[in-house]
Amino acid sequence: MTTEKTKQYTELSRSQAGWLKGHFREITDLPKPGKKWTARDVDFGREMVLKLRQKELIERVYDGTRSSDGRSNKFYRTTKEAYEALERYKRKAERSDSFFPCGHSAILNERGVDGITCGECGKVYDKSEVSA
């Protein structure tokens, strides 16, 4: 029987899976495989597009078209493996009993802060916003 953990490493390298698992909340709007898209089509920006390319989680698509300045248009396509892993991480996060609205559970104990700080992303929440 193949577990979810085993599956993630058979479809992606350990490096790819680890990076994607650590950043999946930043790229939730990654387009489906097969769809051609540009950095302007997503909310996570060009720097993240570059990181996704470096990790080979998306592919550059050359369609022969050029922009008004004569440069080749930069289109991308999400790999099937990356998209499937992203969807698994999102489903797992939805099922988890996270403490904070951001989906994390680590608490950072800070003095002088009015609220409770997430130890993973640093966001500060009012006590009424967190799960008891």
Helix (H) or strand (E) holding 77: strand 75-78
Q: CA-based Rg of the chain, rounded to a whole angstrom? A: 18
Domain co-membership, 20 together with 85: yes
Domain co-membership, 85 together with 102: no
Beta bridge partners of 61: 75
Domain holding 59: CATH number?
Answer: 1.10.10.10
Average pLDDT over residues 11-39: 90
Mean pLDDT of the chain: 83
Instruction: Give residue 120's domain range.
Output: 98-132
Instruction: State how many domains the chain has.
Output: 2
Q: Which of 36, 35, 39, 14 is nearest to 27 (CA)?
A: 39
Write down the pTM of the prediction: 0.64
If pLDDT is split at 50, 70 and 90, which confidence band does 65 have? Answer: confident
Tokens representing residue 49 in the block: 């597009």
Phi, psi values for residue 88, rounded to 5°: -65, -45
pLDDT for 88-104, tens place per residue? 888 887 766 677 777 77
If pLDDT is split at 50, 70 and 90, which confidence band does 85 have? Answer: very high
Domain co-membership, 42 together with 83: yes
| Cβ contact 118:102 at 8 Å | yes
Q: Which residue did the predictor score with more confidence, 48 or 4?
A: 48
Domain co-membership, 67 together with 90: yes
Domain co-membership, 65 together with 113: no
Looking at residue 9, its pLDDT comes to 44
Domain co-membership, 51 together with 70: yes
Domain co-membership, 77 together with 13: yes
